[in-house]
């Protein structure tokens, strides 16, 4: 425990508490805070900079710099030493500030007189809210004890900022959590909805960051940690008989809960004058800031453990957040991130989902898509701003979220929702009509699914069958490997729900972004191109065999269609098909009924399979183009990477040439072909695929209506003519030509 900081910072915190408890205006409070810190630290200058918006910091109070510069001096994130402190989230401590790289002199502040600079981020749970700065004339570096004291103070300032203690006059001090805020994220699932915020992990509010009785706080902390440890032990006891992998995860979790370093740091914080909950938050905040920057996935996983334990500890200490019965009627879930299992627990009652993290290919995204719930991902810092019950509008088409919108925005949004409702009515009116083009081509529209919960959409959307059933979702949403009996019962239910319509079950496609929580992760540098899908199935055939048996049993004599993911060459297809043949023989031996008809197909997801020997196209009973993967390998553009995934157009003539090549080869072998990647559900793409000769498209249920509506209005020979004209003109993509033409058709 640093000697100086314990007594000094306790004294300082005691005085701060008095200042904060006073009934003065927010600005006056803030002024008092900088005065107290400056005098306690024997520094000529103490200033507080807070974010005005996500990119700009504003000088909000100062002791020592020119008072006229308060609320005038601003800097961008990363600009100068203050901006650097905020951007990096770490301390900048220097004896000679002007000599530092990136130093920026602000003449209006009069800071040229000062030499040393110590900037400490004011952060709460890893989110930087501002910067606390101490400057002196003499060239000196703040000692570790002094820096520690500043960190403690910065923690208290962060809590008080969050609580609105500095609200009042002054542009940068308007109340938090009241103003309208717009978040621009990434589209996860299209659609719009209006509702109220429902936080997945409601913020625990610490109202008492400072204490004057360290012994009492230490006892509270110790009791809470004891309760926490017991609850983790109980979890472990409950898991013991069930699953070895799960036990391993929990053991690691328990190790963290028993970590003496964590405990000691929190006790030091309490000794310095923080309350038990503020100490927990301080360590959580520091760990988040440190570990979230770590490129090591193991460390980042541990961060989640620590985060989770800290949240539990905070709930034990404050009693907040235990009651989850407060869900509004129109809940829009707001979370940093969420696993598919947790999301499924909320069920379809959610009107929308907003995530700070997440990715387009993540499982939560897949679940949201299956449910057609508008989803926006990468909405940075929304959990910091949003409060339970806030009005919120989700524009899943644009990836935009309006939090606490004003009246005008709400009205415009209502109009948009009404327009979409009219479009839905139009789609419903053609639901039972075929997707027949003006030129008489019949396109079979199927849907993608992966959950039992998806199946009711089969009737509702007008899809003719399930062109892709992603079986891995059933593996992903559990915390242990499903048993054969469970799976066969599930496949039976799927076929029952499909009621005679064809379902193409895709065997387990794990690896890459789909990591089973109960399987040891592979440390692969390039997982999308690594040990995944059928490669795992063939190398470790136990699970594949079990799944094939479950599919055969689940079919209970009905026709069965199975396809293997990520087939890259004919030998893989033959090996996988041999597993199916063996499974069938085994069922016959055991006297079980076998399907009336078995179709065994392959997903074409790598360019190489498009150029496989002719016999491959003859041997496969059907082929489905997995455009999501095929595109990422064709363009060498990671489908998970927001920077590159939209860079190359699906309607690029080179990609269309590949698709056409596959269409021709399947036609020559008389092998049915479908397209089941996301692009099949985009009306313009669907049109172009149909114009090239594709006759089966499988998509999200919500896309069936728009695609059918479009197909029924066009003549494919005209679409093809537009595409050919664009190609002849030398266009890289046919999108412009087809879209321009469409304007006059629909
Ligand atoms: C694809 O790659 O297009 C596909 C349908 O499979 P997934 O998205 O599940 O990888
Ligand atoms: Mg795929």
CA angle 578, 508, 488 (to 5 degrees): 85
- Predicted local distance difference test score (pLDDT) of residue 325: 67
Ligand 1 nearest atom to the CA of residue 468, by list position = 5
pLDDT at position 662 is 98
List the end-to-end C-alpha distance of the chain, in Å, as a whole number. Answer: 73
pLDDT tens across 359-368, in order? 765 667 777 8
Reference 706, options 727, 729, 680, 728; nearest CA is: 680
Predicted confidence (pLDDT) per residue in 375-394, tens digit: 999 898 898 789 889 999 99
Which portions of the chain are predicted below pLDDT 70? 1-6, 168-176, 238-250, 291-292, 295-304, 321-325, 339-341, 360-363, 477, 479, 512-513, 517, 521, 642, 746
Index of the ligand 1 atom closest to the CA of residue 630: 2
* Distance from residue 457's CA to the centre of ligand 2 (Å): 22
Active site residue 676: yes
Number of H helices, E strands in the chain: 27, 23
Q: How far apart are CA 562 and CA 74, in angstroms?
A: 62
Among the listed residues 363, 402, 666, 688, the single catalytic one is 363
Q: How far apart are CA 381 and CA 183, in angstroms?
A: 9
Longest dimension (CA), the chain: 92
Nearest to 31 by CA among 59, 9, 8, 52: 59
647: buried, middle or exposed (CB in 10 Å: 19+, 13-18, 0-12)? exposed
pLDDT digits (tens, 9 = 90+) for 440-471: 999 999 999 988 877 888 888 899 999 999 99
Residue 605 Cβ contacting ligand 1 at under 6 Å: yes
Q: What is the pLDDT of residue 2?
A: 43
pTM: 0.68
List b or e across 562-600, with b for residues whose CB sees 16 or more CB atoms inside 10 angstroms: bbbbbbbebebbeebbebbeebbeebeeeeeebbeebbb
Rounded distance between C-alpha atoms, residue 116 and residue 137, angstroms: 7
Q: Give yes or no for residue 628 CB within 6 A of ligand 1.
A: yes
The residues, ordered by sequence, that sit 6+ positions from 501 with a Cβ below 8 Å of its Cβ are: 458, 464, 465, 466
Q: What was the pLDDT predicted at 644?
A: 86
Which pLDDT tens digit goes with each residue over 17-75? 888 777 777 888 889 999 999 998 889 999 999 988 778 999 999 999 999 999 999 99
Neighbours of 265 (CB within 10 A): 16
CB of residue 627 inside a 6 A radius of ligand 1 = yes
Residue labelled with tokens 């030499």 = 115
Q: Are the CB atoms for 294 and 300 separated by under 8 Å?
A: yes
Atom 1 of ligand 1: nearest residue by CA position: 626
How far is the centre of ligand 1, averaged over its atoms, from the C-alpha of 604 (Å)? 10
Q: How far apart are CA 223 and CA 316, in angstroms?
A: 9
Q: Which domains occur in the chain, in start order?
A: 6-173 (3.30.450.40), 181-202+324-414 (3.50.30.10), 214-318 (1.10.274.10), 437-743 (3.20.20.60)
Q: Which ligand is nearest to the CA of 677?
A: 1
Closest protein CA for atom 6 of ligand 1: 626
**Whether 363 is catalytic:** yes
Compute, in angstroms, the gap from residue 627 CA to the centroid of ligand 1.
Answer: 7
Q: How far is the CA of 691 from the centre of ligand 1 (A)?
A: 22
**Nearest-CA neighbor of 372 among 403, 398, 357, 350?**
350
Residue 509 near ligand 1, beta carbon < 6 Å: yes
- Report whether residue 470 contacts ligand 1, using a CB cutoff of 6 Å: yes
- CA separation for the pair 594, 583 (Å, rounded): 10
Token couple for 564: 């293997």
C-beta 629 within 6 A of ligand 1: yes
Instruction: Tell whether ligand 1 has an atom less than 6 A from the beta carbon of residue 356.
Output: no
User: For residue 365, how many other CB atoms are within 10 A of its CB?
Assistant: 22
Q: Is residue 654 within 8 Å of 709, Cβ to Cβ?
A: no
Would you call 638 helix, strand, or coil by DSSP? coil
Cα 566 to ligand 2 centroid, rounded to whole Å: 7
- Check 46, 118, 666, 676 and give the catalytic one: 676
C-beta atoms surrounding 559 within 10 Å? 14
Q: Which atom of ligand 1 is nearest to the CA of 625?
A: 3
């Amino acid at each position: 425990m640093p000697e100086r900081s314990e007594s000094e910072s306790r004294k300082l915190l005691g005085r701060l508490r008095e200042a904060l408890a006073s009934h003065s205006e927010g600005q006056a409070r803030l002024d008092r805070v900088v005065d107290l810190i400056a005098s306690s630290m024997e520094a000529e200058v103490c200033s507080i900079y807070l974010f005005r918006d996500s990119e700009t910091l504003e000088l909000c109070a100062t002791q020592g710099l020119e008072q006229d510069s308060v609320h005038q001096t601003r800097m961008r994130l990363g600009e100068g030493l203050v901006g650097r402190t905020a951007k990096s989230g770490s301390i900048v401590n220097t004896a000679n500030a002007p000599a530092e790289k990136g130093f920026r002199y602000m003449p209006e502040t009069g800071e040229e007189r000062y030499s040393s600079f110590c900037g400490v981020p004011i952060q709460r749970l890893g989110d930087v809210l501002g910067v606390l700065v101490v400057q002196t004339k003499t060239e000196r570096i703040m000692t570790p004890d002094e820096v520690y004291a500043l960190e403690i103070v910065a923690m208290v300032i962060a809590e008080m900022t969050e609580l609105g203690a500095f609200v009042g006059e002054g542009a940068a001090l308007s109340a938090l959590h009241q103003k309208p805020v717009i978040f621009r994220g990434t589209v996860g699932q299209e659609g719009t909805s209006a509702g109220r915020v429902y936080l997945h992990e409601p913020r625990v509010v610490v109202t008492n960051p400072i204490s004057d009785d360290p012994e009492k706080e230490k006892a509270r902390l110790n009791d809470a940690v004891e309760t926490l440890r017991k609850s983790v032990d109980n979890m472990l006891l409950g898991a013991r008989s069930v699953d070895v992998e799960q036990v391993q995860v929990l053991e690691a979790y328990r190790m963290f809960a028993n970590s003496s370093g964590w405990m000691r740091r929190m006790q030091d914080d309490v000794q310095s004058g923080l309350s038990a909950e503020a100490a927990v938050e301080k360590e959580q905040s520091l760990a988040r800031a440190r570990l979230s920057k770590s490129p090591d996935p193991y460390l980042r996983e541990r961060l989640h453990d620590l985060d989770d334990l800290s949240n539990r500890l905070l709930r034990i200490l404050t009693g907040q957040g235990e009651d989850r019965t407060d869900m509004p009627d129109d809940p829009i879930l707001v979370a940093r991130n969420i696993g598919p299992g947790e999301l499924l627990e909320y069920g379809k009652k959610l009107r929308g989902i907003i995530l700070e993290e997440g990715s387009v290919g993540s499982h939560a995204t897949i679940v949201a898509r299956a449910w057609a719930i508008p989803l926006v991902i990468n909405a940075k810092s929304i959990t910091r701003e949003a409060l339970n019950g806030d009005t919120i509008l989700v524009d899943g088409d644009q990836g935009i979220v309006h939090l606490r919108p004003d009246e005008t925005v709400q009205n415009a949004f209502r109009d948009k929702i009404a327009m979409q409702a009219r479009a839905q009515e139009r789609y419903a009116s053609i639901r039972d009509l075929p997707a027949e083009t003006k030129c008489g081509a019949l396109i079979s529209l199927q849907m993608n699914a992966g959950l039992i919960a998806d199946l009711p959409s089969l009737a509702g959307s007008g899809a003719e069958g399930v062109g892709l059933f992603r079986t891995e979702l059933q593996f992903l949403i559990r915390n242990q490997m499903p048993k054969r009996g469970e799976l066969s019962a599930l496949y039976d239910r799927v076929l029952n729900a499909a009621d005679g319509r064809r379902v193409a079950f895709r065997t387990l496609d794990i690896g890459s972004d789909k990591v089973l929580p109960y399987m040891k992760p592979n440390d692969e540098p390039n997982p999308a191109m690594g040990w995944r899908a059928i490669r795992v199935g063939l190398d470790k055939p136990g699970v594949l065999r079990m799944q094939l048996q479950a599919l055969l049993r689940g079919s209970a004599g009905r026709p069965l269609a199975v396809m293997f993911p990520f087939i890259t060459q004919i030998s893989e297809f033959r090996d996988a098909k041999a597993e199916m043949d063996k499974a069938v023989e085994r069922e016959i031996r055991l006297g079980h009924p076998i399907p009336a008809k078995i179709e065994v197909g392959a997903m074409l997801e790598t360019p190489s399979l498009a150029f496989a020997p002719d016999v491959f196209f003859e041997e496969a009973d059907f082929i489905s183009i997995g455009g999501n993967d095929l595109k990422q390998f064709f363009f060498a553009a990671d489908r998970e990477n927001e920077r590159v995934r939209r860079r190359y157009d699906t309607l690029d003539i080179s990609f269309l040439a590949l698709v056409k090549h596959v269409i021709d080869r399947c036609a020559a072998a008389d092998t049915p072909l479908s397209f089941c990647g996301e692009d099949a559900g985009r009306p313009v793409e669907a049109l172009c695929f149909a114009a090239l000769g594709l006759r089966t498209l499988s998509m999200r249920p919500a896309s069936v209506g728009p695609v059918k509506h479009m197909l029924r209005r066009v003549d494919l020979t005209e679409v093809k003519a537009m595409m050919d004209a664009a190609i002849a003109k030398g266009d890289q993509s046919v999108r412009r030509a087809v879209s321009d033409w469409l304007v006059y058709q629909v």
